[in-house]
Amino acid sequence: MHAVYYDTETTGTNAKNDYIIEIAAYDPVHDRTFDKLVKPPVPIPPEATAIHKITDEMVAEAFDFAAIGQEFIEFCGEGAVLVAHNNDNFDLPFLQNEFARHELTMPPWKFVDTLKWARRYRPDLPRHALQFLRDHYGFPANNAHRALDDVIVLHQVFQAMTGDLTIEQIYTLLNVPRRMRFMPFGKYRGKPLAEVPKDYVKWMAENGAFDRAENQELKEIFKEMKLLSSS
């Protein structure tokens, strides 16, 4: 597996109704970049242009996503792990919808969401937006909200966050289910599990709460904490 950092700019924020108008990527293994404007089937709304500065005139001579998508596949290769900030809620849904619209087959890529990583492994930070992280790690300001500039910054920031971890290790860590730390329901909902009284755990057991399939992880954790009998 090798990492390819990518970013998209779009006509709006709704992946079902809006369109990709720029897609960029950086392959640090081969030190090469990809940056293409995409001609959408609709005019670019002024409010979108105000953010990324891409106008209808700029994309007038661009190819549509059918062509650009194929070039993107060739750039990334089959075994890539695509890395983007807010990937799961933004870039990936846009990518999936564009591939579907143009009847392109998406390769068996894996994906890493660096926003999810930042929230999970840097909970000490008050914010996790890309530009906040750029400033926090001391990288110079860039042309924010243009795809290639954001991709380069993302690579710098994520390298700083992950150190010498490989992309395989990063992918694995993000996809291992997180252990439950807080009470998910009931009288002590939101309380750290270590602060739930033993009498309450006993009451739940007596009332069948741990017979439910969805509460098996909670049951095992309370057993490990010696708040619940192993029998």
Which CATH number does 2-175 carry? 3.30.420.10
Whole-angstrom CA distances from 23 to 4, 36, 38, 92, 150 are 12, 6, 8, 12, 11
At 122 the three-state DSSP class reads: coil
Over range 167-192, report the average pLDDT.
Answer: 86
Quote the distance between the C-alpha of residue 218 and its chain's center.
27
pLDDT in tens, 6-38: 999 999 999 999 999 999 999 999 999 999 999
Taking a C-beta distance cutoff of 8 angstroms, is the pair 182, 192 a contact? yes
Please identify every residue annotated as catalytic.
145
As a whole number of angstroms, the distance between CA 172 and CA 149 comes to 27
Taking a C-beta distance cutoff of 8 angstroms, is the pair 59, 42 a contact? no
pLDDT of residue 121: 84
Enumerate the β-bridge partners of residue 111: 82
Over range 48-61, report the average pLDDT.
Answer: 96
Is beta strand 2-10 parallel, antiparallel or unpaired with respect to 80-84? parallel
At 93 the three-state DSSP class reads: helix
pLDDT in tens, 115-161: 999 988 888 899 999 999 999 999 988 776 678 999 999 999 999 99
Instruction: Give me the DSSP letters along 153-219.
Output: HHHHHHHHHHTT--HHHHHHHHHSPPPP-B--SSTTTTSBGGGS-HHHHHHHHHTTGGGSGGGHHHH
Q: What angle do CA 167, 86, 43 make, to 5 degrees?
A: 125
Domain boundaries, the chain: 2-175, 179-231
